[in-house]
Structure 1
Amino acid sequence: MTADESLQLHYPTIFADFPTLAAAQSTRYGGVSQPPYDSLNLGLHTEDDREAVLENRKRFFAACGFRPDQTAGSHQVHGAEVLKVDAAGYFTGYDALITDQTGILLTVTVADCTPILLYDPVRRAMAAVHAGWKGTVSRIVVRALDAMREHYGTEPADCRAYIGTCIDHCDFEVDADVADHFTDTHKHWDEAKGKFLVNLKQTNRDHLQQAGLPGQQIECSPYSTFSRHRDFFSHRFEKGKTGRMLAAIGLRS
């Protein structure tokens, strides 16, 4: 993967009926970063060359139809706090962002954790959610929906959701200290591996449906960051020495 490869993004089809809505998740392809961050590393808090990261982010934002100064993101803490965003900027301590403002691109950073994008076409409100295993257990995606209801009047039944590429259940091997936080529906014991396997995608999907989203209004990425590490950054596979992807959503002006 080199700097001359074209930018490759994943565009959720669940939002295809809304032409002014930008929604995408990045891959490894199309940036200028050198190994082991090759090539489209978008993570501000990595040891990659900062100028390369800023160039990569500029390319990604442009592909979404936004400038860097029209974006909102947060230094995530694997928590469950939700921030109502009224202006572009970079914040700290939040793992979910919501807005109903046109011209702001909400972003979350991932490299195995689950990105979730939400859109309410009735109220024209949206959310970008970072759900690691701790955020998933804390039902952060439901907290984001609750915040959208509180601030914008969102009804979950009106929403569309995209559960993006993350580490899949066949790759997410954990011990009991993590598995004990999940129900039997969302984990199983693998005797050969001597580990529990936890399904983050299905857990978040079930949380969305329990909150009132119809199943046909939820799209789930079929890919795993771990098994497809040549296409996506995987913190676990690459033992922490890797880049980061962005998932983003926003209404273009």
Structure 2
Amino acid sequence: MVDFYRFEHLERFSGCMHAVTMKDTSAPFSLSLALHTGEEKEQIAVNRKMIAESFGVSREWCFVVADQTHSDNIHIVTKKETRGWESQESAVADCDALITDQKGVVLCVLTADCVPVLLYDPEEEVAAAVHAGWKGTKSKIVAKTVRKMQEVFGCSAENIVAGIAPAIGKCCYEVGEEVAQHFFDLREAFTTRGDKYMLDLSFVNKQQLLDSGLQKENIKMSGICTACEVERYFSYRKEQGCSGRFMSMIALL
């Protein structure tokens, strides 16, 4: 069986399932789940099958993966169909956030330092999975996803529960002014190191959720830096351009 990271506050809800995968050196490519990074697709398919079985879903469940492009594009999954799971060609094109009210659909985002955010509204029974790198964070993709949940499904922000999964932390994410300048309005998001900036993207996404109306007690952060915990999570920065990706998943029951 595969080990997952899970959020305790999301675990309390019977209407959804979620999980964040971790490395496993006994699996092909340390249990990377990316089809787009050049590994043998047959071996990645083995990994994905292992994850699906460990996640505990039936054969009738569908998995939806997007072709992530660091955009602020959001896709609404309106029917049960698998996309991007068996092949990259079938992935949702040019998209970095997925939302659904369909039960039995697993929304998936792939990361190796960027910020994965899982959202769940237990009242309207809506789930979302968001991929927020610095470009997506700059364009406030997580706030736009909350807004889309409100507009399309009538969600109330105060009911939405959020889990901010492992991502590179301020301790390790050094950027230049060309990146940091986009977050200068949130002074707590960074510290300076010479002419460089140590940026906390998870904190910025949390603040965007708060600004969107989510309750502070409904937002939980893993507190895990992927670069510090590189034995457990893939880190593009720490591993100097690694091709591995771990997956954050959420589904309605």
Q: TM-score under structure 2 normalisation?
A: 0.91
Q: Kindly report which structure 2 residues correspond to 1:1-253, keeping only aligned pairs within 5 A, or say none.
A: 6-29=1-24, 32-33=27-28, 37=29, 39-66=30-57, 67=59, 70-87=62-79, 88=81, 89=83, 90-183=91-184, 184-191=187-194, 194-252=195-253
Q: What is the rounded CA distance, in whole Å, between the counterparts of 2:24 and 2:228 in structure 1?
A: 16
Unmatched tracts of structure 2, length 5 or more: 84-90
Where does structure 1 lack aligned partners over 5 or more consecutive residues? 1-5
Per-residue deviation at 1:237? 1.2
Instruction: Give yes or no for contact 1:118–1:162 (8 Å, CA) kept in 2.
Output: yes
Quote the RMSD (CA, aligned, Å).
Answer: 1.5
**Cα offset, 1:251, TM superposition:** 1.4
User: Which whole-Å CA distance do the structure 2 matches of 1:31 and 1:149 have between them?
Assistant: 42
CA contact (8 A) 1:31 1:41 kept: no
Taking only the aligned residue pairs, the percentage that are identical comes to 33
Q: How many residues align?
A: 241
Q: CA deviation at 1:32?
A: 2.3
Corresponding letter in the other structure for 1:83 = H
Where has structure 1 moved over 6 Å in runs of 4 or more? none
Q: Deviations over 1:35-80 (max 9, x none)?
A: xx3x111011112111111111111122223349611110100010
CA distance in 2, matches of 1:218, 1:23: 15
